[in-house]
Structure 1
Amino acid sequence: MVDEIGNAIKVMHDENIKFVRLQFVDINGIPKSISVPLGSDEDMEDLFNDGMLFDGSSVDGFVEIHESDLLLKPDLSTFSSLPWRPDESGVSRFICDIYTPEGKPFKGDPRSTLKSSLEKLKDKGYSYNIGPEPEFFIIDQDEDGNYIPHDDAGYFDVDPTDKGTNFRRKLVIDLEDLGFEVEGSHHEVAPGQNEIAFKFDKALKTADAVITFKQAIKAIVDNMGYKVTFMPKPFFGVNGSGMHCHQSLFKGDKNLFSDENNENGLSQEALYFMGGLLKHSPALSAVVAPTVNSYKRLVPGYEAPVYMAYGLKNRSALIRIPAARGKGTRIEYRSPDPSCNPYLAFAAMLEAGLDGLKHKIDPGEPTEFNIYNLSDEELGEKGINVLPASLWEAYHAFEEDDVIKKGLGQHISEKFLESKYAEWDEYRIQVFGYEQKKYIGL
């Protein structure tokens, strides 16, 4: 990590850096970057101090053509070399914040949106920690060009059935070179599906890490002749890929979600935070599961959450409380998937949780049974509601949720909805092979 301009320039010289990538994301969380050659020390000082102008009208969710100029300013603490690039190329990366030409934070910048939500915690001395678990598939293609899983292995399988061991070894080594503290890696439930877990951290650093994580994995595996997908449900009939988000609030070294005097070890703050997440979960779905394909994953029978309830250790509920207590006390929100924009997803979840704290929203009693076994009538009797079953339902819930919309800001909310309207319209007019097989004889 570097924290001042002189130090940043020295590190780049020491590492023989020749090009600097200035990276940011669009409203959908897709990484974008501008590459500039390493100039003189004076030129680099100007870049770090003044930023670089770019055309924001060509980036999804940013600005119109008549107001196109925006400014990229590197965050010095995000410096990293890129281990998947050839050694001789000497490429480094800074993640940037986006400003208007007048020097004000750009309201359409997802990273700045998360920073704005986190500002609400500063007066209380709180920090918001998140540990995501992004799953992914290593894929290949058959003779006809169809995508297929790279192997037929299952949960925690080993080689030779699990053909991802070499991939994960290389991925872990390179991720550690990028500064990740990897906690473990393994084959997941579905064929070709993998998970590499990295340690939780403060929300902004973690959101940066998720973007870097996905970009690094795609690049590293591509160099090995295969592809990786973070698509939530790439194959029919098997589990999809989630990005469960473990989260907690801290004040200094104290975990505010922990209370050893309560029977379940959870504080009242943890319960209220969960109450906010549950209340706003329909609208959150649009942000944390933001694609048409996300709702092919969120169906009963494949370990994905569809029921708006919480439970201690219960993996059939939307929110699970892992067994760890003390500083490890946390809640696991299970509907996010790796197609989401982590900056917006983390900001939206935080806004929902803070609303729960503000209004002391009671999440009710924990659900300690397999919800998948309940009938619709039994679900109604127990007051357990169901998450949106489609992007259409989710974005309508988002439209009606003033807390989440206000938390993300008017610009982001409007541009996000425009993007979801367009995606749904594009999807609903398609005719798929399933429909032809089922209805062609009518």
Structure 2
Amino acid sequence: MSVQNVLDTIKEKNIEFVDFRFVDLSGKAHHITVPALSVGEDTFTNGVAFDGSSIPGFRGIEESDMVMMPDPEAIFVDEFTAHNTLNIMCNIFSPDGDRYDRDPRNIAQKAEEYLQSTGIGTSAFFAPESEFFIFDDVRFESGQNVSSYSVDSDEGIWNTGREEEGGNLGFKIRNKGGYVPVSPADTTQDLRSEICRVLEEAGLVIERHHHEVATAGQQEINFRFSTLVDTADNLMKYKYIVHNTAMKFGKTATFMPKPLFGDNGSGMHVHQSIFNGDTPLFYEKGAYANISELGMYYIGGILKHAPALIALTNPSTNSYKRLVPGYEAPVNLVFSKGNRSAAVRIPVAAVTPKGARIEFRTPDSTANPYLAFSAMLMAGLDGIKNKIDPRQEGYGPLDKNIYELSDVEKNEIRSVPANIEEAMDALEADYDFLIEGGVFTEEFIKHYISFKRDEAKEIAIRTHPHEFSLYYDC
């Protein structure tokens, strides 16, 4: 969409305000709102100034001036504002006109350019399955003398004995019993459908929605794949619309990977493929799972670099509460055509040549999508360039139930890092594949590692409530 088309949209839809947005290092959106009457062609030339020192992980106060440059291709009308508002995603620049190298969207755009420069293909396509919970109540606090959290859902299995107004009507979802039940067990169909309606208004193509495995309102909504940057933009819209639609219904949504102990967590399974023009590069009829050698090498790159990659795809301390055996968590660094506990799965059901793809199941939605998708692409491209064959490297295929293997067999399978510190150690030791073509910079990687280590320390130094259960009577 051209700048003129954006200005025409403002007039046609009676837009009163334009909301300029950007994404920080952690993947959180920020915004500055400008009256529509003040937005013209010069806005797209000069940008919108903001204070970079107030954004975590950006700049110090001595170099705080930064500029948002709006992208006319990335707009949607906001349904949650009282005044007609047009949201527009921006790229971040320094005042001297240079792209800011810590802007996640800049890194994603460089990743797309790097793919094209390799001659391997013209486009990388991504489709994340971003799971989330919808709760009726959430409470938490962390202070000097108190540390606690509580979440509640009318669907929660722990509420079978709760006294409710008019009596308890039952139909609570058991642990691991929440995969696609009909109502009245599934109480959230109308909410999901409304989310889908708003997503479609924002330009996403919805493929399906359903209740997920866990008790207490775990959900999944799938939207159609697109190119790397466009998919990252769409995921930012998706999270914004999920959060705000839930709030509109008097509920609260979270993409936190493991808000509940003892049941499945929420992942972000990322489907991905490479095309050269209109030609899919991951398909080879008759091969294992109909995946091409190029696709195999892509898998090899993902699995070889997985410990470092996970620092960007699973960047929270809570991520590793999900990545434990027993809850369908993809902790095993192997590939398979059917095993959902494998880190990489090759979908085979109802797959056409153009639908041939690989699915990296380990990531979760605490990831910054621009960084995570870029890192996955760079790992896969490294696998293609260096012909890393996952079959020869001992990554499978493994089409068995991993949980039923003997201890000897399990010990031969490499696993994901056990915590965020191990993931950061792995990234510190293996990031050359990320800085190829200047996509990521060494300075960015070192800054990111320091930023995340500081975040991890905030958890490590605080007393945990369960420690009272273990040690108070010592």
Q: How does 1:107-126 map to 2 (within 5 A)?
A: 107-123=101-117, 124=119, 125-126=121-122
- Tell me the TM-score normalized by structure 1: 0.95
In 1, distance between residues paired with 2:298 and 2:380? 4
The answer to whether the aligner puts 1:133 opposite 2:129 as a matched pair is yes
The answer to whether the aligner puts 1:56 opposite 2:52 as a matched pair is yes
Q: What CA deviation, in whole Å up to 9, does each residue of 1:283-338 have, x standing for no partner?
A: 11111111010000000110011110000111121100001241111000000101
Q: How does 1:323-334 map to 2 (within 5 A)?
A: 323=348, 324-334=351-361
Counterpart of 1:250, as a letter, is F
Q: Is the 8 A contact 1:108 1:411 kept in 2?
A: no
Q: What CA deviation, in whole Å up to 9, does each residue of 1:180-235 have, x standing for no partner?
A: 10000000001210110001111110000001100111011111111001100000
Which residue of structure 1 aligns with residue 247 of structure 2? 222
Counterpart of 2:403, as a letter, is Y
Which residue of structure 2 aligns with residue 97 of structure 1? 91
In 2, distance between residues paired with 1:32 and 1:210? 15
1:126 is displaced (CA, Å) by 1.7
SS at match of 1:217: helix
CA gap of 1:142–1:68, structure 2 versus 1, over 3 A, is closer
Q: How does 1:375-414 map to 2 (within 5 A)?
A: 375-380=406-411, 383-406=412-435, 407-414=439-446
SS at match of 1:195: strand
Which residue of structure 2 aligns with residue 342 of structure 1? 369
In 2, distance between residues paired with 1:16 and 1:427? 47
Q: Is the 8 A contact 2:137 2:251 kept in 1?
A: no
Structure 2: 5+ residue stretches without partners: 141-148, 156-171
1:405 is displaced (CA, Å) by 4.8
- Tell me the TM-score normalized by structure 2: 0.89
**Relative to structure 2, which stretch is displaced further, 190-199 or 54-63?**
54-63
1:408 is displaced (CA, Å) by 2.5
SS at match of 2:37: coil
Q: Is the 8 A contact 1:23 1:95 kept in 2?
A: yes
Q: What CA deviation, in whole Å up to 9, does each residue of 1:12-69 have, x standing for no partner?
A: 11101111111011000000011111125xx511111111221111111211211111
SS at match of 2:5: helix
Q: Is the 8 A contact 2:316 2:366 kept in 1?
A: yes
Which residue of structure 2 aligns with residue 180 of structure 1? 204
Structure 1: 5+ residue stretches without partners: none
The answer to whether the aligner puts 1:12 opposite 2:10 as a matched pair is yes
Q: How does 1:109-258 map to 2 (within 5 A)?
A: 109-123=103-117, 124=119, 125-141=121-137, 146-151=150-155, 152-153=172-173, 154-191=178-215, 192-258=217-283
The answer to whether the aligner puts 1:429 opposite 2:437 as a matched pair is no
1:261 is displaced (CA, Å) by 4.8
Q: What CA deviation, in whole Å up to 9, does each residue of 1:414-442 have, x standing for no partner?
A: 22112211111111111112111111122
Which residue of structure 1 aligns with residue 399 of structure 2? 368
Which residue of structure 2 aligns with residue 357 of structure 1? 384
1:142 is displaced (CA, Å) by 8.0
In 1, distance between residues paired with 2:333 and 2:284? 24
In 2, distance between residues paired with 1:160 and 1:181? 27
In 1, distance between residues paired with 2:196 and 2:390? 38
**Relative to structure 2, which stretch is displaced further, 3-12 or 300-309?**
3-12
Q: What CA deviation, in whole Å up to 9, does each residue of 1:329-368 have, x standing for no partner?
A: 1000000101110000001101100110111101014111
Counterpart of 1:416, as a letter, is Y
Q: Is the 8 A contact 2:308 2:431 kept in 1?
A: no
The answer to whether the aligner puts 1:418 opposite 2:450 as a matched pair is yes
Q: Is the 8 A contact 1:74 1:97 kept in 2?
A: yes
1:150 is displaced (CA, Å) by 4.3
SS at match of 2:284: coil
Q: Is the 8 A contact 1:130 1:203 kept in 2?
A: yes
1:134 is displaced (CA, Å) by 0.4
CA gap of 1:263–1:344, structure 2 versus 1, over 3 A, is closer
In 2, distance between residues paired with 1:122 and 1:50? 29
Q: Is the 8 A contact 2:337 2:345 kept in 1?
A: yes
Query: Superposition RMSD on alpha carbons, in Å?
Result: 1.6
Q: Is the 8 A contact 2:255 2:365 kept in 1?
A: yes
In 1, distance between residues paired with 2:455 and 2:138? 29
Q: Is the 8 A contact 2:70 2:89 kept in 1?
A: yes
Q: Is the 8 A contact 2:27 2:368 kept in 1?
A: yes
Q: Is the 8 A contact 2:44 2:70 kept in 1?
A: yes
In 1, distance between residues paired with 2:387 and 2:138? 54
**Relative to structure 2, which stretch is displaced further, 187-196 or 62-71?**
62-71
Q: What CA deviation, in whole Å up to 9, does each residue of 1:227-250 have, x standing for no partner?
A: 001100000011000000000000
Q: Is the 8 A contact 1:298 1:305 kept in 2?
A: yes
Q: Is the 8 A contact 2:312 2:367 kept in 1?
A: yes
In 2, distance between residues paired with 1:268 and 1:167? 43
1:399 is displaced (CA, Å) by 0.8
**Relative to structure 2, which stretch is displaced further, 301-310 or 55-64?**
55-64
